[in-house]
Amino acid sequence: MIHKEDIDKIFEAARVEDVVADYVTLKKRGVNLIGLCPFHDEKTPSFYVSPAKGIYKCFGCGKGGNPVSFLMDKEQMSYPEALRHLAKKYNIEITEEEETPEQVQTNNDRESLFIVSAYAQKHFSENLYNTDEGKSIGLGYFKERGFREDIVQKFQLGYSVNKRTAFTDSALASGYKFEYLVKSGLTIDFNKDGEKTIEGSEPILHSSEKKFVDRFAGRVMFPVHNISGRVIAFGGRTLRTDKKVAKYINSPEMEIYHKSDVLYGIYFAKKEIIHQDNCFLVEGYTDVISMHQAGIENVVASSGTSLTIGQIKLIRRFSNNITILYDGDNAGIKASFRGIDLILEEGMNVKVLLFPDGEDPDSYSKRVSSDELKSFIKENSKDFISFKTSLLMGEVQNDPIKKAQLIKEIVDSIALIPEAIYRSVYIKECSRIMDVQEEVLLSELNKIRRKKFNEKGIAPATTNSEFTPPVEDIIEANLEKTNADSEHQERDIIRLLINYGNNIMQVDSEELDEENKPIPIDISLAGLIIHELQHDNIVLENVLYRTVFDEFVVQLEQGMVPDYNYFTNHPNTEICSLTVDLVSSPYFLSNWEQHSIYITKEEDILRNSLNSAIFSLKSRRIEMMILDIQKQLKENPGEEETMTLQQTHLNLLEAKKEFNKLLGRIIVK
């Protein structure tokens, strides 16, 4: 771990305009710099850099942050990697905290596995070009598949010669430890794993009394890279026709390779996924390679495994859009419906493309031109409802029971989508395709979501519709809307804290002077906001806003008030991004004073802004409490409890009226 003092030095030295200028041509615009955003396509510049604040912000795609987060976004670096990159750029020596012996051993083991895997990749690639067997069998296979030499080299493809210990013997002779050859899965140790054989071969006895065999002997090799490009595993394909021999075998799970969190080709695809804002998901290694050769690079493979949450989240780091490319195997497609549901549940957008019968991405991309392939994908990609219904309607035919089951299955999928707007759109689409009244689908959707949320102890949100749902659904919908609306007030509180937390306000204390008047005291705006909210036991609902608020509380207890620089340089990238949003603006005021025109700035009316923010938040919380009581009254409580709730309801209405007066709101009766 990098020392805090060194991190501070890096942030002090790093100039955001220097870092960004390595990627973007910047021009002066007032006190800021402006250029074309490196994160999305645009013709009119909307990407601003503020040297004074040390931040960047794109008002087109929303990306923003400090020099560290820029490198993290642009180069997909981790936080420590970005810090080390900047330390090198600005010649800053950094000291890593001393690790425990256990941590040292773990890191050494991981690094050793990376080193062994890198050696194996180089060894297999050299076999492809430097051995007769590799050239005739391995390279011959790749040429037969139509792979160009530059593509073979790009993906670092290789060949493991068909001698049972050739790789292990070479690695041991080169000084690599047998322990790590076994841990990496490249070598199978029969002493450790028991007397077992691979493809009918007998274990080899060496003078060291170790019995072992190469896992991938006689196979063409597909290295698997992690997101930063390091080899972490291998897939090996046999070229034998013996049906008893597994067509593909893969590296086992280990410290550096967990297949549920890995996607084949992600390292080569990540930049184009960001650029296209879409990720094509295919099944196998050759599908990925063939698509790249056809000029489509935003493609990854789950490598024959069922799609997992870890893989979906890996894609979501680069795009919220996934297009799944299937071959014509209906049985396999139906089995993958669970993966589509997982994507929907993660709040991502999913489309599906079905290739013609007998075709897959590998074969089809070789049969047509690159432009034809791109057009085919664009014209035939369907949303998951259209795809699912068109695929299954043939089985339904005129059977009403099967049709009802299909509709319920689709509504079950829609119910997984977190965003109410998207659910509403899909319900309308399902209603149109299936010729079912929208109200019926909404009723079923609400029932599913209510059951789901009841199991979790959370009130469900209902989908907007043109019909009138039950009263309890109206209350729940209004309560959800109120909660969503309160985020605006909470955001305004955090905006004031970050921008003006250090500003000193004068307030009346409880102590009186000789004339019996309150003695004014000075207090920071941050201190005043925290006092006001804590006095009324108000806790911010938004987790990110609450995290920032809590940091202000901790810092104030230590006698300090953090400014926006504290949060723009925060190691939590979400906090950094939020701060940039709250301190950035694409506009700046001209020097109107030279024309004797004086503009009122928020700093000049800070007391009004503060009161408005606090009163608005408290008023919103009162509205939430009123809705909650209305909900309780609808549940027909006992007589005594009803009277108590009604009295509380009246008190809250009165309080709401007072806050409306303070806020200058006009209430129409």
Walking along the chain (669 residues) 10 residues at a time, the average pLDDT comes out as: 81 88 86 87 86 87 89 83 89 74 71 92 95 94 94 96 93 93 92 50 48 92 90 93 87 91 91 88 93 95 82 84 80 72 88 85 90 92 82 74 86 86 87 86 85 54 35 37 63 90 78 74 87 82 88 85 85 87 65 51 69 85 84 82 84 80 58
Distance, CA of 236 to chain centre: 31
List, as own/partner pairs, every contact residues 249-252 make where C-beta atoms lie below 8 angstroms and the sequence separation is at least 24, other chains included: 249/215, 249/216, 249/219, 250/303, 251/184, 251/185, 251/186, 251/215, 251/224, 252/185
What does the buried/exposed string (b/e) look like for 563-577 if buried means 16 or more CB atoms within 10 Å of the residue's CB?
ebebbbbbeeeebbb
Distances (CA, A) of 433 to 323, 352, 407, 430: 21, 17, 10, 5
Domain at 260-380: CATH code: 3.40.1360.10
The per-residue pLDDT for 455 is 59
The per-residue pLDDT for 268 is 92
Rg (CA), the chain: 31
**Length of the chain counted residue by residue:** 669
- The count of other CB atoms within 10 Å of the CB of residue 515 is 5
The per-residue pLDDT for 155 is 96
Q: What is the pTM of this model?
A: 0.59
The per-residue pLDDT for 464 is 38
**How many Å apart are CA 222 and CA 157, to the nearest integer?**
5
Instruction: With H, G, I as helix, E, B as strand and everything else as coil, classify residue 249.
Output: strand
List, as own/partner pairs, every contact residues 450-459 make where C-beta atoms lie below 8 angstroms and the sequence separation is at least 24, other chains included: 452/415
32-35 and 204-205 beta bridge pairing: unpaired
The per-residue pLDDT for 604 is 58
The per-residue pLDDT for 458 is 41
CA nearest neighbour of 446 among 462, 468, 427: 462
**DSSP designation for 137:** I
**How many Å apart are CA 531 and CA 228, to the nearest integer?**
46
| 106-257: CATH class | alpha beta
Return the CATH superfamily for domain 4-89. Answer: Zinc finger, CHC2-typedomain (3.90.580.10)
